[in-house]
Structure 1
């Protein structure tokens, strides 16, 4: 399915995020912190603080940009504590702009948010 979708260019960013998933079937919800270091409309690269086992599907929250419950599928786990994920829906340009406004990456230091578009 994912090999036939269009690929969008990954842009550098640095946003705090949270991964949420269920452990032991549906018994409890686990939450882990991470950083979004690259993002596009269809995928992202996340930096994890430590190594831990993630399920194939989970939710991604970006609290600074007020974006919650983005469904994700784990595509690849890298050795340097980063993971490559695909989103279950395409992110809108408006959501990406909000992420870039709250990014601490130097490439986005001059980004501003249009209040009327919120």
Structure 2
């Protein structure tokens, strides 16, 4: 399925995020902090603080940009505590702009948010 999708260009960013998933079949929800270091409309690269076992599917929240419950699928785990994920739905350009406005990456320093589009 993913090999037939159009690829979007990954852009560098630095946003705080949270991964939420269920542990032990549906007993409780676990939440872990991470950083979004690269993002496109269909995928992202997340930097984790430490290594831990993640399920194949989980939710991603980006609280600064007020984006919640992005469904994600784990694609690749890298040895330097980063993971590559694919989104279960494409992010809109409005969501991408909101992520870049709240990014602390130097490339997005002069981004402004159009409040009429909210």
Structure 2 unaligned regions, length at least 5 = none
Q: Alpha-carbon deviations, 1:66-101, whole Å to 9, x = none?
A: 000000000000000000000000000000000000
Post-superposition offset of 1:27: 0.4
The 4+ residue runs of structure 1 with deviation greater than 4 A are: none
CA distance in 2 between counterparts of 1:112 and 1:29 reads 35
Post-superposition offset of 1:38: 0.2
Matches within 5 A, 1:23-102: 23-102=23-102
TM-score (norm 1): 1.00
Structure 1 unaligned regions, length at least 5 = none
Secondary structure of the 2:91 match is coil
Post-superposition offset of 1:113: 0.3
TM-score (norm 2): 1.00
Post-superposition offset of 1:52: 0.2
